[in-house]
Structure 1
Amino acid sequence: MNSLVHRLFWISLVVCGAVSLVWGHEEGEGDLKVTVLAKSSDAWDNQPLPHYPTGQPEITVLKIIIPEGKKTPLHFHSVINAAVLQKGEVDVHMPDGKTKKLKAGDTLIEVVDKAHWGENVGQGDAEFLVFYAGEKGEQITHLLHEGEKPNADTEKADR
């Protein structure tokens, strides 16, 4: 079986399993409740997400805490990721002025290859649970210096 067919087989198997789980436990059936928190082909800036990488997939799950009154460094992610803000209030900013306001319970489908930072604007720590869908060995977050942009090889202007 060639690599693409092999990969499609496994993706199909996972999708079928997930669909079976959801169909088998719909609202009102048994104790399990399924709620879609986020589902989109676009990032929070309303731009389409990039295609998945072609190498060995690697999923990373991080818990990120931004202390009260603090900001993350200017950075970008080279992989698709989504987050749930479990606690607090955060404003996510892009250098072009776009801002996304989040409160506890909100989800975020993050921008890819675009500079941004998050700022805790609430009281107490802000706590994210973030899921990254990358490629084995690939760096998921790249720090930038003020005014620096993601490199031209990474940023895809035609998305």
Structure 2
Amino acid sequence: MTLRFLPALLSSIFLLFSCGKEKPTSGNPSSELIAESYLSWNGDSLPTYPDGKPKISIVKVTIPPHSELSKHHHPVINAGVLLKGALTVVDIHGNVLEMKAGDPIIEVVNTIHYGVNNGDEPAEILVFYAGAEGMEIVVKEPI
């Protein structure tokens, strides 16, 4: 069984969290596509979804002020939205993505990277992982 339905599912989840390019008037719902791509933020092509029983994980990650996540990689496709604060994401190739609250990210897959919060407030990011039963969603790199 493949996870071909996941792009539609992730788009639906993002649409639930986003309201309107145009300001909705009272009682009129609206939606805005926040991110859609076949590429991750650094330009790499996204891989195919894994075979197996689908597993969706939604994780809120909080990075304290003036701190850094350890180097890691994701073996599954994932995307997120920075809810608050600012975050700098750096991959092993030296690509850098500067994020501010409200920015989406389509994360790199199987590429070592890390995030840095240089700000004075915690950075909070909500991340959606599209994996399969038995798969890790984050693999920390040895120090």
Does TM, scored on the shorter chain, surpass 0.5?
Answer: yes
Give the unaligned 5+ runs of structure 1: 147-159
Q: Residues of 2 paired with 1:105 and 1:37: CA distance?
A: 9
* One-letter amino acid of the structure 2 residue matched with residue 39 of structure 1: E
Task: Report the CA distance between 1:137 and its aligned residue.
Answer: 1.7
* Higher-Rg member (1/2): 1
Match of residue 92 from structure 1:
89
Match for 1:72: what amino acid?
A: L
| Corresponding residue number in structure 1 for 2:62 | 65
The one-letter code sitting in structure 1 at the alignment partner of 2:76 is: V
Partner SS state of residue 50, structure 1: coil
Alignment TM-score, normalising by the size of structure 1: 0.74
**More helix by proportion, 1 or 2?**
1
Shift of 1:95: 2.3
Displacement over 4 Å in runs of 4+? 26-30
Equivalent AA in structure 2 for residue 122 of structure 1: G
CA distance in 2, matches of 1:33, 1:104: 21
Q: In structure 2, what is the Cα distance between the partners aligned to 1:77 and 1:88? A: 23
Q: 1: distance between equivalents of 2:140 and 2:116?
A: 15
Q: How many residues align?
A: 132
**Counterparts of 1:123 and 1:105, CA distance in 2:** 17
Match of 2:38 among 37, 41, 61: 41
Q: Give the TM-score taking structure 2 as reference length.
A: 0.82
Separation (CA, whole Å) in 2 of partners of 1:73 and 1:127: 16
In structure 2, the gaps of 5 or more residues are: none
For 2:115, the equivalent position in structure 1 comes to 118
SS of residue matched to 1:46: coil
2:77 and 2:46 map into 1 onto residues whose CA distance is: 7
Q: CA deviation at 1:80?
A: 0.3
What is the CA distance between 1:145 and its match in structure 2? Answer: 2.2
CA contact (8 A) 2:69 2:116 kept: yes
Q: Out of 101, 105, 108, which is 1:108 matched to? A: 105
- Percent of matched pairs sharing the same residue: 38
| Distance across 2 between alignment mates of 1:90 and 1:102 | 5
Amino acid in the other structure paired with 1:124: E
Task: Identify the structure with the greater strand proportion.
Answer: 2
How much is the aligned-residue C-alpha RMSD, in angstroms? 2.6
